[in-house]
Amino acid sequence: MVDMDVLTQPLPTLFISHGSPMTALEPREAGAFMQRLGPALEGAFGRPRAVLAVSAHSLTREPVLLAAARHAAVYDFGGFDPRLNTLRYDAPGAPELALRVQALLQAADLPCHLLDQGGLDHGIWTPLRYLFPQAEIPVLPLAWPAHWPPTRLFALGQALAPLTAQGVLVLGSGSLTHNLQRVFAGGLRDIDRPATPESTAFRDWFAEQCATGRMEALLDYRRQAPHAALMHPTDEHLLPWFVAAGAGLPDGASAARRIHASLTYGDLAMDAYAFGASAAQLFEARAGVSAVM
């Protein structure tokens, strides 16, 4: 059962770019960062009591909480190294927390359904295998509607904000850039392909808006960001960013920080962000932890 006592210091919320499924076998810079991030979180704030995960690969017409008592890894991909299908992440679920989350969303006039089923898509289990490899922390996936605009997903995140003071880590998982046509154009052979000008411009714009607290511009990224449609022909991989941002910035204040930046295949960003008053503390903490590859 998840203890819902209020903490003295809220947890930061996170957005992590999970990359290709091969990230689970080939950690590279992003995997090393995620390995440092888990111990940094625990060292600075204590072990999270649960993880509420919002992934680009769990999409529904209205928000749905997967409230099973246990979860296992779902292999929701094909055409990759068959060793991926042998990787496991059997984690406890959080059915009691699901009831709390449903109440928070309904109080904010947002629909929310409970489903007594489980399963963690690769956007969830890939980063969690690096962050918390023992799979001991309860996980609650929140499937969400990709047709909702950033403003409504930010509001959904704001409704989740009380959880951060109760030891629940709100984790958005997607990709800061995600144009698979450009990625697959190289046949997945050149993972170290130099950054394209378009991906650099988009990633830099995002980081600059965060640094200057321009949340209104970020919420309107589709119109204002350079090469937005090129970097996100469909934007389901970026939208979890706004849920995590809303949960960490319930009053809309600017406390967003890029805590990792790397790139694969010239276009596929592996950037990660932290939100909330403790984001800077996490940024400093993760720099002092070594990864074990």
Residues of the chain with pLDDT > 90, as a percent, come to 83
Domain boundaries, the chain: 13-286
Mean pLDDT of 122-151: 98
Q: Model confidence over 246-259: pLDDT tens digits? A: 999 977 666 799 99
Residues of the chain with pLDDT > 70, as a percent, come to 93
Per-residue burial over 243-272, b if 16 or more Cβ lie within 10 Å, else e, is: bbbbbbbbeeeebbbbbbbbbbbbbbbbbb
Residue 288, pLDDT above cutoff 70:
no
Residue 281, pLDDT above cutoff 70:
yes
C-alpha to C-alpha distances, 291 to 13, 23, 27, nearest whole angstrom: 21, 15, 11
Residue with the two structure tokens 């074990």: 292
3-state secondary structure of 259: strand
The confidence band for 64, taking pLDDT boundaries of 50, 70 and 90, is very high
Q: Model confidence over 155-179: pLDDT tens digits? A: 999 999 999 999 999 999 999 999 9
Q: Model confidence over 81-111: pLDDT tens digits? A: 999 999 999 999 999 999 999 999 999 999 9
Could you tell me if residue 190 is left (phi over 0), alpha (psi between -120 and 50 degrees) or otherwise beta?
beta
Residue 130, pLDDT above cutoff 80:
yes
Q: Select the CATH number that applies to the domain covering 13-286 from these four: 3.40.50.300, 3.30.450.30, 1.10.150.120, 3.40.830.10.
A: 3.40.830.10
C-alpha to C-alpha distances, 16 to 86, 109, 126, 190, nearest whole angstrom: 23, 28, 10, 22
Residue 244 structure tokens = 């995590």
Residue 2, pLDDT above cutoff 90:
no
Pairing relationship of beta strands 64-66 and 70-71 according to DSSP bridges: unpaired
Residue 1, pLDDT above cutoff 80:
no
pLDDT value of residue 47: 95
Mean pLDDT of 115-122: 97
Residue with the two structure tokens 């499924």: 21
Residue 5, pLDDT above cutoff 70:
no
pLDDT value of residue 254: 64
Mean pLDDT of 41-62: 96
